[in-house]
Structure 1
Amino acid sequence: MYPIRKVIIGLDLSELDKTMVEFADFLSRTSAVEDVYFVNVIKNLHIPKDVLKEFPDMVENAITERKTQMEKQFEKFRSGEDKANFHFQVLTGKIADNILKYSKEKDIDLIVMGRREKAEQSGALSQRLARRAACSLLIIPEGTSPKMDQILVPSDFSQYSKLALEEAINIARSNQNATEITIQNVYTVPTGYHYTGKTFEEFSEVMKKNAEKNYKKFISKIDTKDVKLKVEYSQDTNEDVTTDMIDKAHEMNANAIIVGAKGRTATTAFFLGSIAERLIQLDNDIPLMIVRPKGKNAGFIEFLKEL
């Protein structure tokens, strides 16, 4: 897994900025991050040509004013202990399109976006970015404390799960191994189990033992770097494995969930994967990282322009 050195962090000049600046501080102090690009997008800056002729400095002044506001927000909430280089950029137009274009220009490794308590709009933006970004995405709920000592990594033992676990291991190493990682596999008892002559409970045990066997194969191919790992097997009880993942995250007081961009169970999106899609929808209070190999974006005419 490539190291995270360049990060984009969205600022929107609201109270959410406090959370975002605190996470920027945290990433700067505890990781290999070298450059943080704070980005704000002005959506409505379309000015008629005749008006611009009369007021030629209007756009430039609006951008300068917005950049000054961003810098003030940063100074208001920063700790002063950070090590990275901080940059401020104001873009104009559609939020997702501009962030994606800018991330490509700057060769960004990680996009960090905030999620307001009322998450309808920010949740939709996060899904667009997660589907189309050519790098990983970290979604931070408003008011979250920057901490990474308990990480949940849902796993179906696929290559995508491997990338997510390797990222969690990198974070733990940067955190001086003070992080405990829990790998969770949610298994399902298939319809038709009764034709085997076994009870539901007996076949549940069969599925669990199969998961344990697959985990041994999976973990044998990963350099855990002496990081503390714990594995949990959960039986899905309501035909929605993501709710089992979120329940486990709350149970263990996780301060991050890390998942690969696509897993074997992908059914609702071509390139993101159903688990990541559902986690973005349902996870309102725990930081969520969607890990994607750098440069491997959705493609397919940008996911058919979001359908």
Structure 2
Amino acid sequence: MKFFSKVMVGLDLTEMDDILIKKTIVFLEFLGVERCYFLHVSKDLALPSELTQKYPDLLASGDETVEAIIQGKLDEYNFPKTVETEIIAQEGDHPLDTFLRWAKIKDVDLLIMGRKETLSGSGALSNGVAKKAPCSVMLLQEKRPIGLPKKIMIPTDFSDHNHLIYAFGERIADQVNAQLVPVHVYHVPHGYSKTGKTFDEFSEIMKEHGKNDFKKFVSKHNHPDLECTFVLNDGEDVGELLLKEAHKLDVDMFIMGSRGRTKSAAILLGSTAEKLITANNVLPMIIFKQKGENMGFFEALFKI
């Protein structure tokens, strides 16, 4: 099953590139990748001194040298010849804009970015790409062992748009023989005390209401027997809360989606997804966006 035939991988000429290339190779067959673009964006393609010292014989122009370095890494890690590759080196004062423009130019289905844990780097570019890309995004972490997921958490809010993301999560879980773990975060509304109920009593009412909603929701999918985990949010950051629950449940990937209430909103993320992206730098994550429905808004955003 082909999920994403055209993929673009963001590289920064650091040690993270080696990790990202090796991890991408593992996902190629699973994702159904037929063509893979490797994009490096720099404000100045003139080589830094550490690279000229490491590669003293490379006297070509900056973009050609960058392409040669990346090609060397692909050869070193035996990137499959069955997948077409193209290496793109670009200068730009605004790397995020350049990444998003090239995603549109190449009409890619998925952007793959690295998330650093101990290596230097702010993560601002990968966060920005995840939030604004016109296609799905996969974030692969520095320290996570290489391998396909076995247990996938999908935060679930029972909305109409969530059906699309949930169906995508089911397909992925079935493809890699992984367990799908639906999780619903609920809270006790303000003013509950006016009902005459205690906090704990109203918390249980909200949980039971959520269970009924999930039964209706999951009945429309291929695995109606799945159990949903319910997590009470008593004021904690929802991203931190989901990450904490992921560790408790021993999951090894997140799948989330865009807002999706309107076509113009489909390119952007809801607050829960944004907070999880900010909190999570330890587990792989796929941000699923329905390709195509957001392109008009994307073009308007960049005044194309």
Fold agreement, TM-score > 0.5: yes
CA drift of 1:121 comes to 4.9
Aligned to 1:208, the other structure's residue is in SS state helix
Contact map agreement 1:13 1:73 (CA 8 A) in 2: no
- Alignment of 1:287 onto 2:288: no
Aligned to 1:22, the other structure's residue is in SS state helix
Paired residue for 2:190? 191
CA drift of 1:29 comes to 2.6
CA drift of 1:229 comes to 4.0
- Give me the whole-angstrom Cα distance separating, in 1, the residues matched to 2:21 and 2:70: 10
1:247-258 superposed matches below 5 A: 247-258=244-255
Higher RCO (Cα < 8 Å, 6 or more apart) = 1
- Give me the whole-angstrom Cα distance separating, in 2, the residues matched to 1:288 and 1:5: 18
- Give me the whole-angstrom Cα distance separating, in 1, the residues matched to 2:18 and 2:32: 22
Which structure 1 residue ranges, 4+ long, deviate > 6 Å from structure 2? none
Structure 1 unaligned residues grouped into runs of 5+: 47-58, 265-269
2:233 to 233, 236, 239: 236
CA drift of 1:159 comes to 3.4
- Range with bigger deviation, 183-192 or 16-25: 16-25
- Give me the whole-angstrom Cα distance separating, in 1, the residues matched to 2:279 and 2:97: 24
- Give me the whole-angstrom Cα distance separating, in 2, the residues matched to 1:232 and 1:182: 8
- Give me the whole-angstrom Cα distance separating, in 1, the residues matched to 2:302 and 2:235: 30
One-letter code of the match for 1:293?
Q
One-letter code of the match for 1:100?
L
- 1:165–1:218: structure 2 CA closer, same or farther, 3 Å change rule? same
CA drift of 1:230 comes to 3.8
Deviations 1:174-196 (A, max 9, x none): 21xx2001000011011111111
- Give me the whole-angstrom Cα distance separating, in 2, the residues matched to 1:189 and 1:119: 40
What TM-score does the superposition give when structure 2 sets the normalisation length? 0.83
CA drift of 1:167 comes to 2.3
Contact map agreement 1:41 1:95 (CA 8 A) in 2: yes
- Give me the whole-angstrom Cα distance separating, in 1, the residues matched to 2:255 and 2:191: 32
- 1:244–1:229: structure 2 CA closer, same or farther, 3 Å change rule? same
1:58-77 superposed matches below 5 A: 61-77=61-77
One-letter code of the match for 2:150?
D
Deviations 1:221-244 (A, max 9, x none): 3344x9x84421111133432222
- Give me the whole-angstrom Cα distance separating, in 2, the residues matched to 1:278 and 1:303: 25
CA drift of 1:286 comes to 0.8
- 1:159–1:71: structure 2 CA closer, same or farther, 3 Å change rule? farther
- Give me the whole-angstrom Cα distance separating, in 2, the residues matched to 1:2 and 1:69: 30
Paired residue for 2:25? 25
CA drift of 1:163 comes to 2.8
Structure 2 unaligned residues grouped into runs of 5+: 47-58, 262-266
- Alignment of 1:274 onto 2:274: no
Paired residue for 2:52? none
Paired residue for 1:128? 128
- Give me the whole-angstrom Cα distance separating, in 1, the residues matched to 2:237 and 2:157: 14
One-letter code of the match for 2:200?
E
One-letter code of the match for 1:204?
S
One-letter code of the match for 2:254?
I
- Alignment of 1:44 onto 2:44: yes
Paired residue for 1:150? 151
- Give me the whole-angstrom Cα distance separating, in 2, the residues matched to 1:123 and 1:163: 28
